[in-house]
Amino acid sequence: MKISQFLLAILAALAIASYYFGFTPIALSLLLIVFSLITYGLYAKDKAAAQKNEWRVSERTLHIAALLGGWPGALLAQSRLRHKTRKTRFRVVFWLTVLINFGGLAWLHTPQGNTQLRAGIYQVEDAAIAHIRQDTGLRVVLFLTKLRPDQYDLR
């Protein structure tokens, strides 16, 4: 098993356990998936541009996408597309983004981090409710807010 597959399996297991034990909401895992898909797409776009000698996606953009939670997609893209695997400086910065992400995820499992996470999610939910004008969208948001446990209601 490659290190990338091992890390992704560990992340998936930790995300499931974290959700199961009530530390993180499912929305966090969904955000990681969305950012990973976006990051994978950026890597694919950069690889295609490199092959065609066209305008490339900047390394800074790739690192920011990985730092924002898209590192699993970046890791998959590096492995599957064989892209950005040789440049040592790039790889060092990439692995720093992975470590920062794991540090952030570990912090979310502390009492203070968990409180901050839930407060942030509730603020986003409240802002969405205040700004959604479409009846269907409002119903979806209201349904999702009903899924959160009452013990963490910070309002």
Rounded Cα gap, residues 64 and 56, in angstroms: 15
Rounded Cα gap, residues 75 and 83, in angstroms: 10
pLDDT tens column, 85-124: 888 999 999 999 999 999 998 998 898 998 898 888 888 8
Cα pseudo-dihedral 26, 104, 76, 70, rounded to 10:
70
pLDDT tens column, 58-83: 999 999 999 999 999 999 999 889 88
pLDDT tens column, 82-94: 888 888 999 999 9
What is the reported pLDDT for 77? Answer: 93
Return contacts of 85-94, CB within 8 angstroms, 24+ apart.
90/59, 93/59, 93/63, 94/62, 94/63, 94/66
pTM of the model: 0.75
